[in-house]
Structure 1
């Protein structure tokens, strides 16, 4: 997919999926704003580009921002988009996923997860919309989760947040379609990234994953990145309000 001249913002850029998404867009010709709160991981992301061509490396820019601080995030994005003239593609990838029994979550715990996983994506959308509307084109991609279909305990605030993000995807798609903006969700299955470290038995969890998938291999972050490239491209212009499960055939509905 050719992303030449497209400007892309990816949140959670320094995570396992975020890294692959950022470099895939950069290789496709996009100018990538790689946003993350962790400066050390952001530097590591940039260092990953040492194996890339100078042209690809030059297309990626690390942006440090804390999604939990919504006023600061909105101000940071407003200044950034004024500087570069806005973006064409927004990838709301960042999320937090604390794991423990429901009775051990406080209401404040729950609200913090919603702030990062739901409110921050909305803040990013609101910051991006003026430019997208002005040019009559935009692609908004939200990362949800197959945990919405059940099967994973101890993740109540996270699963709740992903349900809200899927609802937001559909509501935005309906409202923004007349402006040439499509809004879709990508729902990853189980990928061997840092997110899996919450599971106490990695080998057992890997067996559990393969037992549920139709495709008998573990997914790679590049599988998600490829789906993102398609949904961000001109080829997907008649697709909006949809959720694409990229999960090796785990969920079929």
Structure 2
């Protein structure tokens, strides 16, 4: 990966500790590398051990010591809490990126209640646990950044993803509630709503070429999204320069949904 995100004279996240869920999937590898290149220490969580090894193999040697990579299934809330307790006992977490999500696809009536609970546990409850673990440290230093990754699906237009869309709506609600409640301590909470980026998530679509046409027809910008499009937004919201922005949702979708 070309280091296009780093300010050579001043790495904007030097000294910051980032907790990043879903770090080895989708667009996570590029984001993780960019965070490290900008001076951050990254605690990366992803349940997929194979993808974790792919992430580790792409980290430049000079940055590898700043990466902590944990294979944790976020539905195992006890394991997640135990891991976070160990992390914060060493040093506070400055930035939380709640990115991990699962997205099974089928008609609403075919989801069992247990399946819906499982999706909510991974997509929402894990974010609650991660944010709560970081809160005391953020509050003590009167600085913090919470970035929730939501979804373009909240705008409607996608069938057979009801529990996923519901979970992303919950994250958007949490973004606004946390922004209001935590702002007095210098903590911001914002959301990023990605568009239809070409990742493994698209494998759920039976007609890839048709889906490609569907995406480009809806976007104002007639190209597919690239990792650096998301990376740039995450780096900005994590920076000092975004300290007066909170409770907002930024759509990174090529001009699909306009607010």
TM range (shorter): over 0.9
For residues 104 and 178 of structure 2, what CA distance do their matches in structure 1 show? 27
- 1:140 paired residue among 133, 136, 146: 146
Deviation at 1:60, TM superposition (A): 2.0
Q: TM-score, normalised by structure 2?
A: 0.94
Q: Secondary structure at the match of 2:27?
A: helix
Encode CA deviations 1:34-54: one digit per residue, 9 max, x unaligned: 1111222111100012xx3x3
Q: TM-score, normalised by structure 1?
A: 0.96
Which residue is 2:69 aligned to? 62
Q: Is the 8 A contact 1:96 1:116 kept in 2?
A: yes
Which residue is 2:28 aligned to? 18
- Say whether residues 1:202 and 2:212 are aligned partners: no
Q: Which runs of 5+ in 1 are unaligned?
A: none
Which residue is 1:92 aligned to? 98
Which residue is 1:82 aligned to? 89
For residues 167 and 26 of structure 2, what CA distance do their matches in structure 1 show? 20
For residues 92 and 49 of structure 2, what CA distance do their matches in structure 1 show? 23
Q: Secondary structure at the match of 1:110?
A: helix
Q: Which runs of 5+ in 2 are unaligned?
A: 1-6
Instruction: Describe how 1:1-253 pairs up with structure 2 within 5 A.
Output: 2-49=12-59, 52=60, 54-83=61-90, 85-253=91-259
Q: How much is the aligned-residue C-alpha RMSD, in angstroms?
A: 1.0
Q: Secondary structure at the match of 2:147?
A: strand
